[in-house]
Structure 1
Amino acid sequence: MNNNTSPIWDFMEKHPWISVIMIIAMQSIFTMDYRSLWFSDEVRYAEVYHQMKDAGHWLVMYLNGVPYPDKPPVYFWFLSIIDAVTPADGISVFFLGSAVSAGIFLLSTVALARTLGCGRKTTLATGLVLLTNIFFIGIAHYSRMDLLFASFIIWANICLFKGFHSKHAPNWIISAFVLMGIATLTKGPLGIVFPILTAVCYLIWKKKLPLFRSKAVLKGFAILAVILLAWIIGAILVDGTSFIHNIFYKQIYERAVSSFHHEEPFQYYLIAFPLAWLPWSMAIFALPLKKLFNISHWRNVTALRESSLNDGRDWAWIMFISGFVMLTCLSIKVLIYILPLFAPLAILTAKGLMGEGDNPPAINSKKLWTAVACVYLLFAVAAPFAEIFFPFDFAIKGLSLTVLILGLGGLALLATRSSGKKTGLLIMAVTMTLWIQPLALKTLPSLDPLMSPRMTGEIMKEYIDQGSYPLAHKIYSGIFSYYAGTNIHETSDFKEIERILEEQDKVILVMQRKYFDRWENCPEGVTIINEQFISDRPYVLLRK
């Protein structure tokens, strides 16, 4: 393939928006109803959605029959639109929601690249970097709100950048704050923190901080406050002040300062981010790293920081660095929180690979394709060993085909590593699009017995339909409710369980195996009817 005259690349470069959407569609179109919903977020969010639809909880979300302060309503409204306007039904609604969210995220990132001054070549490369990132592909096939949340954050950044570099600044800035409000009602206050932090750091770097004290910014904050207060007041009217206290104290303050779960060491993202950015983290081996230790290089960067020629590059770097530092400083650390940082990093990676204007490429494509090929081949070699040492009594399906595709992709990159950047990008895009098909259609569904609570939930449903009282001890709230088809009485008190067992004629009870083994006063007549290892721990199902 001639890197300079490829008709495929030429078409894609002329139509980067259409190209990235076509690729994400090909990666997703056959995977809408291919597996069960997995522990823990998928089954809980599905139950929240059904409680919203069936019980009419449209303003305050409910899980297992009680208020669910963890998540605001926008994502679930988004799912209801998909449910209403598409043929999707059942769990396909949730997987289509993931695919559409991934498409929105891609278009948002492409729009950010164009806004920051990238040409069509770099804009297309930006989309291809995302579409060949393993973590992004995985999240595009997992049902949760983070891609939609990150998309609103990206669009807020677009509006803020335009607001600081446009004659129509007030409209752009006000639009940014509206998007921050929507982002916050999609997942939480990081929807405000990410873009505001980027804007402030950027203006400090550019010595233009007074721009942040404009009337438009004040109006924007006022509109943002109105949006959030409207929801807060509505939530208070629906569910009282305890719900709001839970949100502001437990879900926001405690998570930021002293997280009650997902607390990780300070260096967590320094280790996790390079793994999540694979295979593109291998670009570190293709960069001229000597520049990082060259004092004159940094003097030049600092001297030119007020130059308008570097505005787009500086915004992307500051968006990534400020977000990374902020996440590192939070008490709670969850890998999915890094998604908003993928947009600027994809842009910077594409700029480094393709070069922009008079700037030559900073990334040596030959070294990069060699490193990426090694990642593909390493995965291809390691996958069969994962199947051999798999400690469960069911088989992982489809690995041979996924191994073959990765292996061929790695060999193709090695064979064409001197052909240039465009050839390598196309090979990676084809490899990942082919690889996800057997992975999604065969391998992931075969993991349902390990990853989904469906088997236990459906057994519970059978007993509940026959009159058994549904009961659970100290579980991750709501994980069985969706497949059980009803709310489940959840408690951490064995005395309460013993009382219910005494009062009810028939009971179906689920708990972790370790708690059952510690249960000193287990009543007679309670027997184990099923045991399932879910995610990382065994659960036993008991009946009376």
Structure 2
Amino acid sequence: MPKIPVNIKFVSILLVLGFVFLMAGNGLLSLTNPDEVFYAQTAREMQQQHSWMTPYLFGSPQFEKPIMTFWLLRLSFDVAGATPFAARFFPAFFGIAGVVALYYLGWLGFRDGRKAFVSAVVLMSCGLYVGLSRTVFTDLIFTVFILLSLLAFWWGYAVEKRRQIGWVLFFAFSALAVLTKGPLGLIIPLSAVLLFLILRREFRLVAGGGFPLGLALFCLLALPWYVFMLKTYGNVFVHEFFYNDHWRRLVEAEHPAADRWYYYPLSTVGSMFPWSLFFVAAFAGFVKKLRQAPPFFWFLLSWVAVVFVIFQVAHSKLTSYVFPYFPALALMTGCFLEETHCVRLLKEVPARGPKALYLATGIFCLAFPVGMVVASSRFPQYVTDRTPVLIFAGILAAYLVVYIISSARRRFSWSFWMTAAFLPLLLVFALSMSPHFESYVSSREAGRYLREKADPGAPVLCSKFFARGIRFYTDRQIAVIDINGDGYFSPHPVEYLNTIEALRDYLKKRPETYAVLRKDYVNGLGRLMGDEYRHDVLYVAGDEHIVRIQPKGQGAGKI
């Protein structure tokens, strides 16, 4: 029997692990508030409107995101229905594709299959990658297109006879990134490549025939949708998409608490968990050896630097914004792990550094089983039965004891794989416990109650955070109550009640109003409504209180 090439073995292992780490069980938890339901509802309304070009939300065109993610979601819904697994299928699929792409980039860059494989395992098992692969956002798909564009460039750079096709594919994948999240889909990879070529004094490579050909293909792929939107919606699209969702995020903080110089360094280290300590050590070592570093290291540095600078100067900051540099960070970390013998079984390896890193990681992770026991006691509303929590905490503690002993004995191959498996192990527990906490993260239960009990077609008054979820799970018209609030960063086409007068005018138009409110609004509802109305709390699902509001003197009606 012929020997299977090692790269095929590695890729096969990565595909199996990718399914387990990133896709298995994605249908167990209902779509969550507020973002997953935003994307899913937009795709479903595109179905209802028979539209493939214009995203819709709350019955009107919405211009917050480009079209690619909605195309993928609608395709998935057309095949399998608007289910949680269908909605999360393409993020998970791209997550697996990104892992394989990173392996090939590492193989081309390091010329070392083991370093490439270890890097891919680091990527697929770090916290942010697992989280974004299992949820409905644009960031994972956007990042994988950027990764593929940079892989294509490096292929052409490393293999001279592939230079032209490398440029063509670079621009093709950049075009898909632009259709996923906007102009940054070209700005990020092109800036990284140009910076690298300038640092290497090889800018002449841009003059090759593949560059203009690729640029022409980019225009052919990326521009038609934008031209359609500009011709169809004109200044409305320009104002919302380019000004509100791009320029405003550059000059104005959507989340002021995150607008700090240290936000991205700290959140990046945290999001690399459970590889955080290894990443810090890898990055420090990476910087030290840059003088004698091969070109691939300068390429990774250019990649990270461009992403960091672009988003560091912007006032709106979220960890997912810098996600495009996580593949590069995984390559740095994987190279460090392999070079410092962090993936070896040999006890005779004199590796104090890896031993210390694994031991520190294991000791830190002991906080998880301890935290589970404490949290299950202090927050009984989230855990109706402590027994499964205590059992899993015991299993996890035993797992970590074995991990620490293996690390102390320098059985680093065990330690490596146990580190990689830590988050999937937590995920098994979280998904098995999802019936206990689902109503706190999803509006599915509140939506079910409204569909069964409220008058068909009646609009629903919602607290701001619940509006998208209630729309998705009921398909009803929505009004938002947000007294003295500033509204959504990207305005939604819903009736928005941010004054007491607006609320009372809304109530006057209806014999009864169903509302889904936070507890603080329920407690203050009497003051907000005035003396003319009464309210009854009909049902509580997690943090969502379903309330019926009626004029005083009117019959209570059915519940």
TM-score grouping bracket, smaller chain normalisation: 0.7 to 0.9
Query: Whose RCO is larger (CA < 8 A, sep 6+)?
Result: 1
Give 1:269 deviation, angstroms: 1.0
Cα gap change, 1:279 to 1:396, in 2 (>3 Å): farther
Give 1:512 deviation, angstroms: 4.6
Aligned partner letter, 2:295: D
Is the Cα contact below 8 Å between 1:405 and 1:434 reproduced in 2? no
> More displaced, 152-161 or 275-284?
275-284
Partner deviation per Cα, 1:335-390 (whole Å, 9 max, x = no partner): 12232222111111111111299xx9999332222122123222222221122222
Aligned to 2:547, the other structure's residue is in SS state strand
Of 306, 309, 331 in structure 2, the residue corresponding to residue 325 of structure 1 is 309
| 1:338 match | 322
With structure 2 as the length reference, what TM-score do the two structures score? 0.82
Cα gap change, 1:453 to 1:370, in 2 (>3 Å): same
Separation in 1, partners of 2:283, 2:318? 31
Give 1:134 deviation, angstroms: 2.9
| 1:277 match | 272
> More displaced, 21-30 or 34-43?
21-30
Of 417, 433, 453 in structure 1, the residue corresponding to residue 443 of structure 2 is 453
Give 1:215 deviation, angstroms: 5.2
Aligned to 2:331, the other structure's residue is in SS state helix
| 2:378 match | 389
Give 1:467 deviation, angstroms: 5.0
| 2:346 match | none
Structure 1 segments, 4+ long, off by >6 Å, are: 10-13, 360-363
Give 1:183 deviation, angstroms: 1.0
1:99 is aligned to 2:92: yes
Of 486, 498, 504 in structure 1, the residue corresponding to residue 476 of structure 2 is 486
Aligned partner letter, 1:353: L
Alignment of 1:344-355 (within 5 A): 344-355=328-339
1:157 is aligned to 2:150: yes
Separation in 2, partners of 1:259, 1:459? 37
| 1:211 match | 205
1:128 is aligned to 2:133: no
Is the Cα contact below 8 Å between 1:288 and 1:362 reproduced in 2? no
> More displaced, 486-495 or 105-114?
486-495
Separation in 2, partners of 1:329, 1:483? 38
Cα gap change, 1:169 to 1:461, in 2 (>3 Å): same
Give 1:206 deviation, angstroms: 0.8
Alignment of 1:27-176 (within 5 A): 27=21, 30-84=24-78, 90-165=83-158, 166-176=160-170
Cα gap change, 1:234 to 1:526, in 2 (>3 Å): farther
Separation in 1, partners of 2:263, 2:89? 31
Kindly report the root-mean-square deviation, in angstroms, between the aligned alpha carbons of the 2 structures: 3.3
Aligned to 1:364, the other structure's residue is in SS state helix
Cα gap change, 1:382 to 1:78, in 2 (>3 Å): same
Gaps of 5+ in 2: 342-348, 480-494, 551-559
Give 1:463 deviation, angstroms: 4.9
With structure 1 as the length reference, what TM-score do the two structures score? 0.84
Is the Cα contact below 8 Å between 1:352 and 1:361 reproduced in 2? no
Aligned partner letter, 1:198: A
Cα gap change, 1:241 to 1:162, in 2 (>3 Å): same
Of 223, 229, 235 in structure 2, the residue corresponding to residue 241 of structure 1 is 235
Partner deviation per Cα, 1:144-165 (whole Å, 9 max, x = no partner): 2322111101001111223334
Cα gap change, 1:311 to 1:28, in 2 (>3 Å): closer
Aligned to 1:96, the other structure's residue is in SS state helix
Aligned partner letter, 2:186: I
Separation in 1, partners of 2:193, 2:337? 26
| 2:510 match | 504
Aligned to 1:266, the other structure's residue is in SS state coil
Separation in 1, partners of 2:278, 2:96? 25
| 1:422 match | 413
> More displaced, 378-387 or 41-50?
378-387
Cα gap change, 1:425 to 1:97, in 2 (>3 Å): same
Aligned to 1:471, the other structure's residue is in SS state strand
| 1:371 match | 360
Cα gap change, 1:488 to 1:89, in 2 (>3 Å): closer
Gaps of 5+ in 1: 1-9
Is the Cα contact below 8 Å between 1:24 and 1:103 reproduced in 2? yes
Aligned to 1:366, the other structure's residue is in SS state helix
Aligned to 1:527, the other structure's residue is in SS state strand
Aligned partner letter, 2:311: L
Cα gap change, 1:472 to 1:430, in 2 (>3 Å): closer
Is the Cα contact below 8 Å between 2:279 and 2:329 reproduced in 1? no
Give the % identical residues: 20
Is the Cα contact below 8 Å between 1:287 and 1:363 reproduced in 2? no
Partner deviation per Cα, 1:404-442 (whole Å, 9 max, x = no partner): 443233222222224454332223344444442222222
Counting matched residue pairs gives 518
